[in-house]
Structure 1
Amino acid sequence: MATALLFAGQGAQKVGMGKTLYDASDVVRALYDEADRVLGWELSKLSFEGPAEALTETKVCQPALFVHGLALHAVLKEQGKLGEVTMALGLSLGELTAYCAAGVYDFSTGLRIVAERGRLMQEACEQTTGTMAAVIGESREAVNALCADFDVQAANFNAPGQIIISGEQAKVAAAVEAGKARGMKRVLPLNVAGAYHSRLMEPAREKFAAYLADIPFAAPQLKVFTNTTGAAVSDPVAIKEALVKQVVSSVLWEDCVRAAVAAGAGPLWELGPGKVLAGMAKRTEREWVVNSFAEFEDFSA
Structure 2
Amino acid sequence: MVLSLVSVKCDCKDFVILSQGAQAVGMGKDAQSVQAGAELFLKANEILGYDLLDVCLNGPKEKLDSTVISQPAIYVTSLAAVEVLRARDGGQQIIDSVDVTCGLSLGEYTALAFAGAFSFEDGLKLVKLRGEAMQEASDAAKSAMVSVIGLDSEKVQMLCDAANEEVDEQNKVQIANFLCTGNYAVSGGVKGVEAVEAKAKSFKARMTVRLAVAGAFHTRFMEPAVSRLEAALALTNIKTPRIPVISNVDAQPHSDPDTIKKILARQVTSPVQWETTVKTLMSKGLKKSYELGPGKVIAGIVKRMNKGADIKNITA
1:26 aligns with 2:35: yes
Which of 131, 141, 144 pairs up with 1:128?
Answer: 141
1:294 aligns with 2:315: yes
SS in 2 for 1:209: helix
* 2:151–2:204 contact (8 Å) kept in structure 1: no
Counterpart residue type for residue 104 of structure 1: A
The match for 1:60 is: 69
1:103 aligns with 2:116: yes
The match for 2:256 is: 235
Counterpart residue type for residue 37 of structure 2: V
The match for 2:225 is: 204
1:79-127 CA distance string (max 9 Å, x none): 3414211111101000110000000000000010111101111111112
1:8 aligns with 2:19: yes
The match for 1:298 is: none
SS in 2 for 1:274: coil
Q: Bigger shift: 147-156 or 93-102?
A: 147-156
Q: Distance in 2 between matches of 1:241 and 1:146?
A: 31
Unaligned runs of 5+ in 1: 296-301
Identity of aligned residues (%): 37
* 1:136–1:185 contact (8 Å) kept in structure 2: yes
Shift of 1:54: 0.8
SS in 2 for 1:175: helix
Counterpart residue type for residue 50 of structure 1: G
1:221 aligns with 2:231: no
- The root-mean-square deviation of aligned C-alpha atoms, in Å, is 1.5
* 1:18–1:48 contact (8 Å) kept in structure 2: yes
Structure-2-length-normalised TM-score:
0.88
The match for 2:27 is: 17
* 2:146–2:186 contact (8 Å) kept in structure 1: yes
1:274 aligns with 2:283: no
Structure 1 pair 191–111 and aligned structure 2 pair: CA distance change class (3 A): closer
Shift of 1:293: 1.1
* 2:159–2:200 contact (8 Å) kept in structure 1: yes
Shift of 1:271: 0.6
Counterpart residue type for residue 15 of structure 2: A
1:104-159 CA distance string (max 9 Å, x none): 00000001011110111111111210011111121211212332341311110111
